[in-house]
């Protein structure tokens, strides 16, 4: 992955990790394009000088239309960071989470797949391109209060591996960014201010250091996520202990 002179599309780039990455990548001389569903977040990104496009990642037609317009306006596009995502708690003992499940799967899993389908034919014509998926440390050890979110991130990890393998002899590199618990508004104001979450600026600094020092890295893992990423490395029994320990310290879903 080259870090300069790219034209990069970032989904969910209006806030949090997406906006922070957009800012850092632009500093390196890249053209960065931001998409979001929120008009307010798009307006903020536009005010900061980013090209912006609205998109609903749950809607295949919206994704296709956005991709078509971005390619028409930015024919040098050669990279996408699939950052858009939602995370909501579910109580599986209640029969009221079907909408959460449907929206989460559409946004976190089908959305990136659909957008990649729209962009890959164009990327194959570039000298160098990259796709960065965003999974989560919870892809490797789930939080029981967020079952569908964790399932979609585990699926993104699997999808990233197969996508990388299928594109191995092409100009397209496939990277997977797996964040730990970071101070963003993904689950609300509490997370953004939770002292036990990794500060966003510290996370972005470490991510950018990895990208600069390990340009061939396939997984972008900050030190703080390794507990989750390698939870199974000492065997199933140790993993189960860690899983129970993690979830016993979390409040149950309402």
Q: Are 164 and 218 in contact (CB under 8 A)?
A: yes
Task: Give the count of beta carbons closer than 10 Å to the beta carbon of residue 39.
Answer: 11
Written as six digits, the tokens of 175 are: 């990277």
d(CA 98, CA 120): 31
149 is catalytic: yes
Alpha helices in the chain (DSSP H): 16-27, 39-47, 60-73, 98-105, 111-123, 147-166, 189-193, 200-213, 226-229, 236-248
Q: Are 131 and 173 in contact (CB under 8 A)?
A: yes
CA dihedral 68, 69, 71, 77 (to 10 degrees): -120
Q: Are 75 and 55 in contact (CB under 8 A)?
A: no
- Planar angle of CA 209, 212, 213, nearest 5 degrees: 80
Catalytic residue, candidates 53, 149, 159, 181? 149
Which residues carry out catalysis?
Answer: 149
């Amino acid at each position: 992955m080259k870090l300069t002179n790219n034209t990069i599309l970032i989904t969910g780039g209006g806030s949090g990790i997406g906006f922070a990455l957009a800012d850092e990548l632009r500093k390196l001389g890249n053209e960065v394009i931001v998409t979001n569903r929120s008009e307010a977040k798009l307006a903020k990104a536009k005010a900061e000088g980013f090209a912006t496009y609205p998109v609903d990642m749950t809607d295949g037609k919206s994704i296709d239309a956005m991709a078509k317009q971005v390619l028409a306006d930015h024919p040098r596009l050669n990279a996408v960071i699939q950052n858009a995502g939602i995370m909501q708690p579910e109580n599986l003992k209640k029969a009221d989470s079907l909408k959460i499940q449907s929206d989460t799967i559409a946004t976190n899993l089908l959305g990136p797949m659909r957008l990649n389908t729209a962009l890959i034919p164009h990327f194959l014509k570039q000298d160098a391109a990259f796709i960065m998926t965003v999974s989560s440390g919870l892809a490797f050890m789930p939080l029981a209060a967020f079952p569908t979110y964790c399932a979609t991130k585990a699926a993104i990890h699997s999808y990233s591996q197969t996508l990388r393998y299928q594109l191995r002899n092409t100009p397209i590199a496939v990277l997977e960014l797996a964040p730990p618990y970071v101070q963003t508004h993904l689950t609300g104001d509490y997370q953004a201010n939770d002292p036990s979450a990794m500060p966003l600026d510290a996370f972005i600094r470490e991510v950018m250091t990895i990208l600069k020092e390990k340009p061939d890295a396939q997984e972008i893992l900050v030190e703080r996520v390794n507990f989750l990423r390698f939870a199974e490395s000492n065997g199933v029994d140790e993993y189960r202990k860690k899983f129970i320990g993690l979830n016993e310290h979390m409040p149950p879903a309402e």
